[in-house]
């Protein structure tokens, strides 16, 4: 029996949790959204802002693990593991390697497509309803390769893209210059992906979605959840400031911190913090019109309302170690390969933690044996893209409606045999 107005507690006010809260309240649930930070301050604040429908490829694929030692030695490389974190990250890297087998990659892509096919419609809906449309641009994205060899390495992705019907187009030099006069690519190759969109202030979009949920009656609890327990009748929570809550449903959208919550319910998944950085160039001295991503140098330039955001990189360093802002400076160095004179009035740096699972898929759906606890975390590189879709799916599960996609590939059960091996 579904209650007419179930009480749902959502832990985490990032793009995922805020979207869950909004969808739930719109369907008539009583909602409490809890976070010790204001909405949109975690990874959802400083990301590259891209709604990347065609980004369906897992980071692990045949041969990917072989690149890791080279990246470790390159201070400007796309991936860095702090030496002190090398040992703790080994189990995750092992599962990452296993997720990269060819047949598993095909399964992951198929699952990711089922989510990604919804993301534009879900953004259309949530932005229209929350008044955030002006914060989105639909201009596509330009992908750069420094050499033909780099492009050839990604050939398998283009073959997949063709089969999946994701449009892309190779740009001539003149076409690239017409779109982005400031970009210098030398002998490189440029590709245009027309379906990509971007948000010019992802933190503000998240805050707006949360605010819209509050306007519709959701409650805000500025606190941190310390303990949770659940049984067939409902869930109980205790916060750091000593408040206790009872509810019918619990939605765990705590991003990279989600293991601390599910751990109390007997679960642990190989969730790791894959840190990323940005340098925000305020009042840049040149104009970039589209998101521009370098597949060779692993850097993304996104035009935003506060300036040009230069973001990317992957650092494995654990949850609580201090940021290493040399990573953000390396991003600027890589960006200046394409825009040598890039500068601005002020450059600020930021670090955020992507909640990353080895197979690049999020965990969506109930905890086995605990049907009133729903997982909505682990979106890795694509949480901004998939937040509103996740919110809609979670709200449908609460109201016992068909979520519209097969949730089996996203089930926490896929980590059954890995749960104990991982330490964070
Ligand atoms: C450099 C960078 C670039 C990126 N670019 C893109 C991009 O272009 N497109 C894209 O789709 N994605 C991108 N991402 C990924 C995206 O930002 C994340 O996947 C997404 O923000 C995750 O959202 P979330 O709501 O799960 O987590 P978060 O935004 O981190 O929110 C989790 C929240 O949970 C709260 N919390 C945790 N534990 C508790 C607790 N016990 N009690 C109360 N609250 C708690 C935290 O305080 C936090 O506010 C990028 C990420 C980075 C780092």
Q: What would the pLDDT profile of 41-65 be if each residue is shown by its tens digit?
A: 999 999 999 999 999 999 888 877 7
Domain identity same for 66 and 144: yes
Mean pLDDT of 109-118: 96
Residue of higher predicted confidence among 155 and 237: 237
Average pLDDT over residues 362-366: 98
Sign of CA dihedral 166, 167, 173, 177: negative
d(CA 168, CA 390): 26
Same domain, 147 and 92: yes
pLDDT at 422 over 70: no
Q: Give pLDDT, residue 237.
A: 98
Q: What are phi and psi of 294, to 5 degrees?
A: -100, 115
Q: What is the mean pLDDT of residues 276-286?
A: 98
Q: Atom 39 in ligand 1: which residue has the minimum CA distance?
A: 254
Residue pair 394/31 in contact by the 8 Å Cβ criterion: no
Split into its structural domains, the chain has a count of: 2
Give nearest CA residue, ligand 1 atom 25.
Answer: 14
Q: Which domain holds residue 381?
A: 7-44+204-269+360-421
Cβ neighbours, 10 Å, residue 71: 15
pLDDT beyond 60 at 302 = yes
Q: Do 220 and 309 have their domain in common?
A: no
Ligand 1 shell residues, CB under 6 Å: 11-17, 34-37, 41-44, 47-50, 52, 224-225, 253-255, 257, 261, 276, 278, 311, 352, 354-355, 377, 379-385
How many angstroms does the Cα of residue 148 sit away from the middle of ligand 1? 34
Q: Is the pLDDT of residue 424 over 50?
A: no
The verdict on 403 and 315 lying in the same domain is no
Question: Of the ranges 163-167, 190-194, 211-215, 277-281, which one carries the lowest mean pLDDT score?
Answer: 163-167
pLDDT attached to residue 423: 38
pLDDT for position 32: 98
Closest C-alpha to ligand 1, atom 44: 35
For residues 349 and 365, state if they share a domain.
no
* pLDDT (0 to 100) of residue 79: 79
Q: Which atom of ligand 1 is nearest to the CA of 383?
A: 19
Which among 131, 116, 13, 27 has a CA at the least distance from the CA of 376? 13
Of the residues 334, 356, 378, the one at which a domain ends: 356
- Where do we find the tokens 């750069």? 144
Domain boundary among 318, 334, 356: 356
What would the mean pLDDT of 319-343 be, rounded to a whole number?
95
Do residues 282 and 398 both lie within one domain?
A: no
Question: Residue 73 — pLDDT band, cuts 50, 70, 90?
Answer: low
What is the pTM assigned to this prediction? Answer: 0.96
Which residues fall within 8 angstroms of residue 242, CB to CB, at 6 or more apart? none
Is residue 122 scored above 70 in pLDDT?
yes
Domain membership flag for residue 130: no
| pLDDT band at residue 402 under the 50/70/90 scheme | very high
Q: Is residue 156 part of a domain?
A: yes
**Last residue of one domain, picked from the residues 331, 356, 381:** 356
226 in the same domain as 192: no
Please tell me the distance between residue 348's alpha carbon and the centre of ligand 1 in angstroms.
Answer: 19
Q: For 214-232, how does the pLDDT look when each residue is reduced to its tens digit (9 = 90+)? A: 999 999 999 999 999 999 9
Residue with structure tokens 């049984």?
A: 231
Instruction: Please choose, from the candidates 354, 279, 275, the residue with its C-alpha nearest in 3D space to the C-alpha of residue 322.
Output: 275
* Residue of 47, 57, 351 with the most ligand 1 atoms within 8 Å of its CB, for mutation: 47
141 domain residue, yes or no: yes
**Same structural domain, 285 and 403:** no
Please indicate, yes or no, whether residues 167 and 263 belong to a single structural domain of this protein.
no
Question: From the CA of 236, how far away is ligand 1's center (Å)?
Answer: 24
User: Cβ-count burial of 156 within 10 angstroms (0-12 exposed, 13-18 middle, 19+ buried)?
Assistant: middle
Q: What is the mean pLDDT of residues 338-355?
A: 97
Quick one: pLDDT at residue 80? 84
Give me the mean pLDDT over the 123-129 stretch: 98
| C-beta of residue 258 within 8 angstroms of C-beta of residue 270 | no
- Nearest protein CA to atom 16 of ligand 1, as residue: 383
* Band (379; pLDDT cuts 50, 70, 90): very high
The CATH number that applies at residue 232 is 3.50.50.60
pLDDT tier at 417 (50, 70, 90 boundaries)? low
What mean pLDDT do residues 231-241 have?
Answer: 96
SS3 assignment for 124-153: HHHHHHHCCHHHEECCCEEEEECCHHHHHH
Query: Residue 347 corresponds to which tokens in the numbers above?
Result: 């450059």
Q: Is residue 180 in a domain? A: yes
H or E element that contains 54: none
38 occurs within a structural domain = yes
Q: How confident is the model at residue 421 (pLDDT cuts 50, 70, 90)?
A: very low
Average of per-residue pLDDT values in the chain:
94
- 162 in the same domain as 186: yes
């Amino acid at each position: 029996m579904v209650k007419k107005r179930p009480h749902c507690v959502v832990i985490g006010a990032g793009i995922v949790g805020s979207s869950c809260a909004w969808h739930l309240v719109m369907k008539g649930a009583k909602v409490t959204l809890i976070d010790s930070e204001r909405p949109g301050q975690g990874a959802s604040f400083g990301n590259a802002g891209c709604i990347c429908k065609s980004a369906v490829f897992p980071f692990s694929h045949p041969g990917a693990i072989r690149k890791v030692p080279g990246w470790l030695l390159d201070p400007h490389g796309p991936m860095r593991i702090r030496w002190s974190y090398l040992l703790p990250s080994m189990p995750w890297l092992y599962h990452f390697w296993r997720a990269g087998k060819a047949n598993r990659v095909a399964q992951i892509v198929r699952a990711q497509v089922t989510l990604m096919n919804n993301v534009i419609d879900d953004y259309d809906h949530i932005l229209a309803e929350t008044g955030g449309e002006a914060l989105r641009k639909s201009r596509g994205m330009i992908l750069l390769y420094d050499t033909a060899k780099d492009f050839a390495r990604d050939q398998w992705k283009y073959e997949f893209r063709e089969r999946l019907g994701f449009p892309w187009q190779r740009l001539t030099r003149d076409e690239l210059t017409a779109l982005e006069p400031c970009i210098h690519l030398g002998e490189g190759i440029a590709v245009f992906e027309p379906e990509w969109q971007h948000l010019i202030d992802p933190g503000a979009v998240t805050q707006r979605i949360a605010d819209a949920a509050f306007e519709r009656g959701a409650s805000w609890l500025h606190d941190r959840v310390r303990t949770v327990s659940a049984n067939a009748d409902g869930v109980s929570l205790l916060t750091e400031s000593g408040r206790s809550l009872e509810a019918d449903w619990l939605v765990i959208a705590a991003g990279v911190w989600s293991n601390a919550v599910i751990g109390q319910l007997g679960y642990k998944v190989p969730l790791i913090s894959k840190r990323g950085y940005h340098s925000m160039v305020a009042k840049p001295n040149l104009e970039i019109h589209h998101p521009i991503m370098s597949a060779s140098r692993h850097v993304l330039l996104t035009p935003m309302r506060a300036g040009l955001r230069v973001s990317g990189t992957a650092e494995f360093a654990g949850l609580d170690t201090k940021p290493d802002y040399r990573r953000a400076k390396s991003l600027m160095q890589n960006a200046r390969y394409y825009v040598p004179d890039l500068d601005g009035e002020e450059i600020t740096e930021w670090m955020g933690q992507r909640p990353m699972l080895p197979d690049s898929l999020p965990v969506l759906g109930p905890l086995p044996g605990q049907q009133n606890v729903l997982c909505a975390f682990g979106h890795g590189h694509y949480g901004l893209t998939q937040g509103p879709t996740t919110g809609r799916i979670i709200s449908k599960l609460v109201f016992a409606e068909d979520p519209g996609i097969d949730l089996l590939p996203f089930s926490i059960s896929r980590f059954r045999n890995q749960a104990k091996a991982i330490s964070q």
